Amino acid sequence: MAGQLISSSMGLSVASIFNPEMGQSTELSRLFSIIAILIFFSIDGHHDLIYLLIKSYEVLPLGSADFGRIFQISKELIEKMFFIAIKLSAPTVLLMLITNIYMAFISKAAPQMNVFFVGYPVYIFIGFLTILIGLPLFILVIQEGFSGLKYDLEKILLILKG
């Protein structure tokens, strides 16, 4: 989701408009997904998922799930996901906004210059530079997001138990 927001602000999502066969996902969001999956494996998140899968058969026998409060927990997890996506994309989106304002000043100062064609490489350069500088922070935020995943999923199991 953060990759989609960043791609939209950088202008990289225009490729999906010009070529609709690409689908809704942009290349930057695919890159962020791959990095997140690699971080998930590096912090042994897959071991936690296997543990929770085994524990789910112990805690919840087949057919005994109570879906009463599952929507509340799902809402909390979705809110957490949106918050992480906004936290990851905020620096780049804000720098793109500032760059866009500067391009507007340039357009007003020199109206004969086509700012769309001049500004597009500037947006891409500043966006990728921001992503490159913010990559260590991206990794830390993703690790923080995955750290509580085991406890959130255990909470869901216990709520389903009733």
**CA geometry: angle at 42 spanning 36 and 45, to 5°?**
80
- The pLDDT value recorded for residue 65 is 67
In total, the chain counts a number of residues equal to 162
Instruction: Give residue 9's pLDDT.
Output: 83
What CA–CA distance (Å, rounded) separates 130 from 53? 39
Please report, for the chain, the start and end positions of each structural domain, with discontinuous segments joined by +.
2-161
3-state DSSP percent of the chain in helix, strand and coil, to 5: 85, 0, 15
- What pLDDT score was predicted for residue 22? 59
- Calpha distance 153→57 (Å, rounded): 14
What are 58-94's pLDDT values in tens digits?
A: 777 776 666 777 777 788 888 888 998 898 889 999 9
pLDDT at residue 20 greater than cutoff 70: no
